[in-house]
Amino acid sequence: MKIISLFSGAGGLDLGFSKAGFNIAWANEFDKEIWDTYIKNHPNTLLDKRNITEIISQDIPECEGIIGGPPCQSWSEAGTLKGIKDKRGQLFFEFIRILKDKQPTFFLAENVSGMLASRHSEAIEKIINLFKEAGYNLSFKLLNAKDYNVPQDRKRLIFVGFHKKKTNNKTFVFNHPQNLKLTLKDAIYDLKGNAIPAKEKNYSNLSKCLFMNHEYMTGSFSTIFMSRNRVRSWDEQSYTIQAGGRHAPLHPDAPKMLDAGKDKKIFVPGLEHKYRRLSVRECARIQTFPDTFEFVYDKISTGYKMIGNAVPVNFAYELAKEIKSQIDNF
């Protein structure tokens, strides 16, 4: 089944759908820092590098599905909170524009849980109505990737639409997964002794890595970072992997941070050397990228950005399998 990918990033969503048997024929990503990584890891997909606002629908191949994660920063509780008033938030309408023009059998759009905040209720209602006006029966639900073979607490809002006329008026059903909960030990324990620090000014130190992309960002920790515990134990699931390396969770070999006042934590005295950020590869493992997936970058911050903005591969795979199963049963 041929599908296209919008706002593709490094292609975590794409890889999950590909594993489920879909053919990602065409993808669009405007961030030039990501192009080399996408092309290297998705050699059979044509990557369009233009700004999506400049792409007319006729330039996009016909397809049976559209997937993508429009930029989420303006919807995020940690971001600008402007939602649809922000130009990045408005890119959701570009997704709908192309969907309306191409009329595929299904679509999947992913975004942060912050979209459900009351301040965005009017915008969400508008988006829902536009999906329906485009000809789709819409299902949407807040899911946690930890329920989908991902060793990470990561809540995301998933929209799935089935074309009314092409699916006999069917509506996608979110089935509750029956998966075991993976832990940090399951994901990264074998990597614990091999990580190296980035070069000065956090330039890549890839040439010295014994394991691909297994380097971590160095530097001080902000007061915001130190406002709460950032350590999860080996038998727990990771905190959400974010797009900024400075906010990467700390390695589980470190003890939990200690209270030092209101909204203030400290490292356990005498054990400060144990507190390092998770490496790029460790974050990739937690996002369930395979070890064969190579992230290409000069500054290590770019590696963290690509991984933190991605949809976990296993999460995408489980959703893709369910979509495929329900489409096959029309």
Q: What percent of the chain has pLDDT over 90?
A: 85
Q: Which residue has the tokens 């890891």?
A: 41
This prediction's pTM: 0.94
The string of pLDDT tens digits covering residues 113-147 is 888 887 788 888 989 999 999 999 999 999 999 99
How confident is the model at residue 74, as a pLDDT?
57
For residue 76, what are the domain limits?
2-177+313-328
Distance CA 12, CA 7 (A): 11
Handedness of CA 73, 187, 290, 194 (dihedral sign): positive
Cβ atoms of 186 and 139 within 8 Å: the answer is no
How confident is the model at residue 176, as a pLDDT?
84
Looking at the fold, whether 162 and 290 belong to one and the same domain comes out as no
The string of pLDDT tens digits covering residues 192-249 is 989 999 999 999 998 899 999 999 999 999 999 999 999 999 999 999 999 999 999 9
CA 265 to chain centroid: 28
Name, in order, each residue with C-beta under 8 angstroms of 108's C-beta and a sequence gap of 6 or more: 13, 65, 66, 67, 68, 158, 159, 160, 319, 320, 323
Looking at the fold, whether 209 and 225 belong to one and the same domain comes out as yes
| Residue 326 pLDDT exceeds 80 | yes
Looking at the fold, whether 121 and 230 belong to one and the same domain comes out as no
Cβ atoms of 238 and 286 within 8 Å: the answer is yes
**CATH number for the domain harbouring residue 35:** 3.40.50.150
Distance CA 76, CA 78 (A): 5
**CATH number for the domain harbouring residue 288:** 3.90.120.10
Looking at the fold, whether 262 and 321 belong to one and the same domain comes out as no
Distance CA 42, CA 46 (A): 9
Looking at the fold, whether 192 and 103 belong to one and the same domain comes out as no
Taking each helix axis from N to C terminus, what angle separates 313-328 and 12-19, rounded to the nearest 10 degrees? 40
Looking at the fold, whether 320 and 304 belong to one and the same domain comes out as no
Q: What percent of the chain has pLDDT over 70?
A: 95
Looking at the fold, whether 23 and 136 belong to one and the same domain comes out as yes
SS (H, E, C) the chain: CEEEEECCCCCHHHHHHHHCCCEEEEEECCCHHHHHHHHHHCCCCEEECCCHHHCCHHHCCCCCEEEECCCCCCCCCCCCCCHHHCCCCCHHHHHHHHHHHHCCCEEEEEEEHHHHCHHHHHHHHHHHHHHHHCCEEEEEEEEEHHHCCCCECCEEEEEEEEECCCCCCCCCCCCCCCCCCCCHHHHHHHHCCCCEECCHHHECCHHHCCCCCCEECCCCCCCCHHHCCCECCCCCCECCCCCCHHHCCECCCCCCCEECCCCCEECCCCCHHHCCECCHHHHHHHCCCCCCCCCCCCEHHHHHHHHHCCCCHHHHHHHHHHHHHHHHCC
Looking at the fold, whether 19 and 141 belong to one and the same domain comes out as yes
- Mean pLDDT for all residues in the chain: 93
The phi, psi pair for 199, rounded to 5°, reads -70, 175
Residues designated catalytic: 72
Q: Which residues pair with 155 in a beta bridge?
A: 144
The string of pLDDT tens digits covering residues 259-307 is 999 999 999 999 999 999 999 999 999 999 999 999 999 999 999 999 9
Handedness of CA 145, 148, 150, 151 (dihedral sign): positive
Looking at the fold, whether 164 and 254 belong to one and the same domain comes out as no
Total domains in the fold of the chain? 2
How confident is the model at residue 177, as a pLDDT?
83
Looking at the fold, whether 213 and 300 belong to one and the same domain comes out as yes
Looking at the fold, whether 100 and 125 belong to one and the same domain comes out as yes
In this prediction, residues 168-172 reach a mean pLDDT of 97
Looking at the fold, whether 147 and 16 belong to one and the same domain comes out as yes
